Amino acid sequence: MIPSFPTLHRLIRLVCGLPVSTAETQRSFSAMTWLKTMLRTTMREAWMSDLLLLSIENDLSATVDHETILNDFRDLRDRRILI
């Protein structure tokens, strides 16, 4: 049978043939579970979100110059968190 829309038919066949993977999602949830187990609920949500992002994107964060970050943090004046 010849479809009425051959380009659309070809696109659907290509999409249906793509492998589906949930590895990235599972890795994210695994990192979140590990992080929550280690630190539990002693931190704010924003801080936990930042740490989780660093954990998930560890290959990118490995290329960051830590000395520059530490110097920038040292130069900050007010580091207190208002409760």
Contact 56, 28 (CB under 8 A): yes
Phi, psi dihedrals of residue 79, rounded to the nearest 5°: -110, 10
Per-residue pLDDT of the chain (83 residues; tens, 9 = 90+): 566 777 887 888 877 777 666 677 777 788 878 777 766 656 677 777 888 888 888 888 778 888 888 888 888 877 666 66
Stated pTM of the model: 0.33
Of the candidates 26, 11, 80, 17, the residue with the CA atom closest to the CA atom of residue 56? 26
Contact 28, 49 (CB under 8 A): no
